[in-house]
Amino acid sequence: MSRKLVLRRSPIHGNGVFAACDLPAGTRLVRYRGQLRSHSEVDDCYGGDYDSGHTFLFTLNDEYVVDANVGGNIARWINTSCEPNCEAVIVEDPKGRRAHDRIFIETIKPVRAGEELTYDYGITLDEPHTPRLRKIWACRCGKKRCTGTMLRPKRKRAS
C-alpha cells in the first residue's frame, strides 16, 4: 500500500481512503486492481442485476470489467462524491490490447493530509431510474450540491 494513502472508517460510507500527506493536483495515486472479467462473466457472477449496488465493479472498456471483489486493493474503498477531489483515468494499452488497459485514480485538485479521497462513480444504467434504484444507488457524500444518487442522468438520443 502506498504511504500516501490510509484506509479507515469514512463519514461518507463504510471504509474510505484518506491522504496521509498533502497531495498536489495531478498526482497519480493508485491503480484500481481486481480480477479482469468480461461483461458477460460479471453478469453471470452477479446476476446482471442492478439491484445489487455493487460498487467494486469498474467498467474498463467495452469488453472488460475490473472486479475488485476479487483481488482488489485499497482503491476499491475510495468513495464517490458529487464534488470529488480525484478522478478515475483509464489508460489504454498502446498496442490496442483491451485486456491490458488500466485504471488509475489521480487527484484533480490539491488534497490536504487527512482529507478523504473521492471520485464521481458516474454510474449509468440503461433502465429507468426509479425511486427504488435511486435509493439502492444513493450518494452519501453530504456535499452542498449532492444529487442524492450515484446514477448519472441519461443522455438524450439524437433524433
Q: pLDDT tier at 1 (50, 70, 90 boundaries)? A: very low
How many alpha carbons fall within 13 Å on the CB side of residue 135? Answer: 3
Cβ-proximal residues to 36 (8 Å cutoff; 6+ apart), any chain: 60, 64, 65, 66, 67, 99
4-14 confidence digits (pLDDT tens)? 999 999 999 89
Residues 16 and 115: their CA atoms lie apart, in Å, by 10
Q: pLDDT tier at 158 (50, 70, 90 boundaries)? A: low
What three-state secondary structure class fits 54? coil
What mean pLDDT is reported for the chain? 89
Q: pLDDT over 70 for what percent of the chain?
A: 89
Superfamily of 5-121 according to CATH:
SET domain (2.170.270.10)
